[in-house]
Amino acid sequence: MATPTAPVSARAVVGQGLRLVGGFARARPAPFVLAVLGATLFAGAIIAASQVIGWVTDTVIVPVLTGGEPREGKLLPAVLAILGVAVWKAAAIVLRRNAAGYLQFKTQQDVRERLIEHQLGLSLSWFGRQSMGDLLAIADNDTRQATGVLAPFPYASGVSLLIVGTVVLMFFIDFWVGLVALVGMALVVFVEVRAAVTVYPAWEGIQKQMGKVTGVAHESFDGALTVKALGREEHEVARLRTESEDLARRIAETNSLWETYRVIITTLMPAISLAVLVVGAVRVDAGAASAGDVVSGLYLLGLLAFPVQLIAFVLFDMAASLPAQRRVQTVLEVDEVVEYGTEKAAPGSGPAPVAGDRVSFGYEPDTVVLDDVVLDIPAGRTVAVVGPTGSGKSTLTMLLARLWDPGSGRIRIDGRDLRSFARYELPREIAFVSQNSFLFDDTVAGNITLGGDYREEAIVEAAIMAGAHEFITELPNGYDTRIGERGAALSGGQRQRIALARALIRRPRVLILDDATSAVDPSVEAQILRRLKSADLPSTVILVAYRPSSIRLADEVVYIEDGRVVAQSSHEELMQTQPGYARLVRAYEEDAAERARSAR
């Protein structure tokens, strides 16, 4: 489906809206057909009802009242006919409502799933440029709005049939009566289309503004700690107020515009009835039409007074659906998809060697964060990545886990380019743990296994190695304790250790730790790292480290400055040959000693 451009004419709104509905209908034909069938049966029931009324008028009411005929024998068939039509109509309404509801909510789910699936396949660089509030608004509000047109559509299509049926019937009654009805109904539909086109641009603005409001609210909730700590609540409320006042104003304006049109439509309907009555009376007088016919025509028009607004509703919903669908479509069309090859992982085949061949990378075009990085890490080695803040350590580890792709050069594990692996294969070989790993609203065990199929012993073993077992057993329900969204009830160090256990249980061939134990006590950190080294782990370990005690545990150190690998060697040798490295490590040492003193 191509991105629709902003429709400017009535034709475009209706055309694109019908195409949108058509697309949805093709995806779920059964409920769509049933809903339209229900609406058609409903229209049929109404027309039948008008015929029954006309027939009852001509054969029962008029003869009994004016001709003084006995009513015996005439009442029962009349009652049965009226009842039958009523049941027919009720069944049609039930069918239409159920099918239309099912269609709407299933389609909404389809669109949302497709959107989320597509988003999860996109690169982190795309995510980095998005506002989370906007993405939330698109996934929630816009998918709902885009499919909202499906709710009134079947009814409106039934009503359209009804309008056509009514006008045709009026012509059968009498040409002049038919003409009045035709002109009247055409006028109503014209006003309705105008209404939808007029409110269309306003809708676009409303939806954009909704994204902004969600964005601001999301940011204030996300930064609740900072907001409270710095006493910025009022400022945040004011920020939200400005945006939501703008939103409220837009909605109110659109609404009043809309209501104006509705008033016009609701006054037009009785006016049409009146005109039909006058013309009809004249024609009955002239003997050109029967009173019953005119009564059934008026009955139909009366019944149409409310449903005719449905056409306006559906146009209104179309006008709202189109910009929402466009926002959804914009995301669906982002093609910054991560490309995958066909290589399979080889889990369980021991630690893997890692190599970087002249890797350069920048987050934005024309920026350089990593510059011609060459790395050669033999299988099973524990390597520390050390360098000043901002030198590119985190960036390098993310590239090694293929969270980003290098701008030029390549990264290999086991001699194979990371990009040559099939989707979902690489995470079976490489585990990446960052400083702020995300915890899900699940149990401790669930956060470690992430839905994987592991035995209890494996979970405990991973937790022991990550230094987490002890505090976990002290939680109210041990491994079955729910830890809430983002693990709010745990300390930073505890969260980090659960994240580490999550990586270890996968027995990765390459384990990458980006400052993953920064919030853990230095002594506990050293203990964890020592366990990792002595355990018979199938992993090559690459860790970004600051504490001298941790750096010394590594077999080798990669020293980075300004996005370049300056040297790769043992800690002792680097202390001797690299003055920058020696200065940095000494600064870390002093810092550690200072902390130890103030802690006492």
Per CB under 5 A, residues contacting Mg ion are: 394
Q: Cβ closer to Mg ion: 131 or 394?
A: 394
Query: CB of residue 385 vs ligand ADP: minimum separation in angstroms?
Result: 8
CA atoms within 13 A on the CB side of 73: 2
Helix intervals (H) in 413-557:
444-449, 456-465, 469-474, 492-504, 522-534, 548-553
Does 102 sit near ligand ADP (CB under 6 A)?
Answer: no
CA angle 252, 155, 50 (to 5 degrees): 120
Q: Cβ closer to Mg ion: 394 or 569?
A: 394
The entry of Mg ion, ligand ADP, none near residue 128 (CB within 5 to 8 angstroms by kind) is ligand ADP
Q: Cβ closer to ligand ADP: 342 or 389?
A: 389
Among 23, 77, 128, 302, binds ligand ADP (CB under 6 A): 128
Which DSSP letter does residue 401 get? T
Does 406 sit near ligand ADP (CB under 6 A)?
Answer: no
Residues written for the chain = 600
The residue among 26, 30, 31, 32 whose CA lies nearest residue 1 is: 26
- Taking CB under 6 A as the rule, which mask of x and - marks residues 374-403 in contact with ligand ADP? -------------x-xxxxxxx--------
Q: Cβ closer to ligand ADP: 404 or 454?
A: 404
- Judged by CB under 6 A, the chain residues 186 through 245 that form the site for ligand ADP are none
Query: CB of residue 535 vs Mg ion: minimum separation in angstroms?
Result: 26
**What is the token pair recorded at 17?**
């809206």
Q: How far apart are CA 343 and CA 352, in angstroms?
A: 15
Q: Cβ closer to ligand ADP: 182 or 368?
A: 368
The residue among 552, 511, 515 whose CA lies nearest residue 532 is: 511
The residue among 536, 546, 542, 566 whose CA lies nearest residue 556 is: 542
Q: At 431, which helix (H) or strand (E)?
A: strand 430-433
Does 369 sit near ligand ADP (CB under 6 A)?
Answer: yes
Query: CB of residue 358 vs ligand ADP: minimum separation in angstroms?
Result: 18
Q: How far apart are CA 194 and CA 205, in angstroms?
A: 19
CA angle 53, 56, 58 (to 5 degrees): 110
Q: Cβ closer to Mg ion: 266 or 394?
A: 394
Q: How far apart are CA 52 and CA 172, in angstroms?
A: 16
Contact 308, 157 (CB under 8 A): no
Does 38 sit near ligand ADP (CB under 6 A)?
Answer: no
The entry of Mg ion, ligand ADP, none near residue 392 (CB within 5 to 8 angstroms by kind) is ligand ADP
Give the number of other CB atoms < 10 A from CB of residue 455: 9
Does 434 sit near ligand ADP (CB under 6 A)?
Answer: no
Q: How many residues of this chain interact with ligand ADP, rule: CB under 6 A?
A: 11
The entry of ligand ADP, Mg ion, none near residue 77 (CB within 5 to 8 angstroms by kind) is none
Q: Cβ closer to ligand ADP: 52 or 369?
A: 369
**What is the token pair recorded at 401?**
């886990």
Binding site for ligand ADP (CB under 6 A): 128, 363, 369, 387, 389-395
